[in-house]
Structure 1
Amino acid sequence: MTRPPATAGSGARRTSCPRCGSPVLRQLVGRRAALDVTADDTRYTAAAAEALRDPNRLDWCVRRTRDGLDLRWADCHRHATACQHEHVVDHQCTAPPVPTRPAVQRRSRKTPPAPAGQLTL
């Protein structure tokens, strides 16, 4: 049995945020412990994206491959030369928080086989 190429389907796909509707890029970034990245589709230079970075908002290097866009870890600041690729930053949703619904209590006509809090086998 053959395996599909490692790059098949692994590129960034353009979509919109389900809450605020702004255009975003989504991709699993990394091979072993992949992160599910949702980044704004606004492109920046490496320096501008680094200025927007904070501990809870990372920036990503956007590479163009034959299969489309590919997000990669932005470790460009380690190199002596400036990165020439475009960069994007993690999406911060501006929509109001989704209200939580109260838990619905189940109405059962059956009496429980054991008192509340007791486990049954």
Structure 2
Amino acid sequence: MKNKYIASFEQAQIASKNVPEFRAGDTLRLAVTITEGEKSRVQNYEGICISIRGEGTGKTITVRKIGANGVGIERVFPIYSDSLEKIEVLRRGRVRRAKLFYLRDLAGKAARIKEIRRK
């Protein structure tokens, strides 16, 4: 059971952030704020959402992208973090699972996900 003050604070945090609807298998572009010393900049991180977990302000997503030399890079992002400026859904993926950890073992064309066609 949650304290009512904590619950109301979490509701305010969630209401202040505009998060689009997406699922595992969707290709996302995340605008992440990076602070280096006193300077800060926004850098895009683009990849496939392989899992969504948690609830409320503790909700996190794991995004996997293929970096240099075909090396897979996964990052976990708290959705309601201040460092996450914007979430943009680029493609909707057609998958039959909630967690796509099997993509870690696949490479190249085998790791592709079919796109949901919009009419």
Greater relative contact order structure (CA < 8 Å, 6+ sep): 2
Q: TM-score, normalised by structure 1?
A: 0.26
Flag the structure with higher strand content: 2
Flag the structure with higher helix content: 2
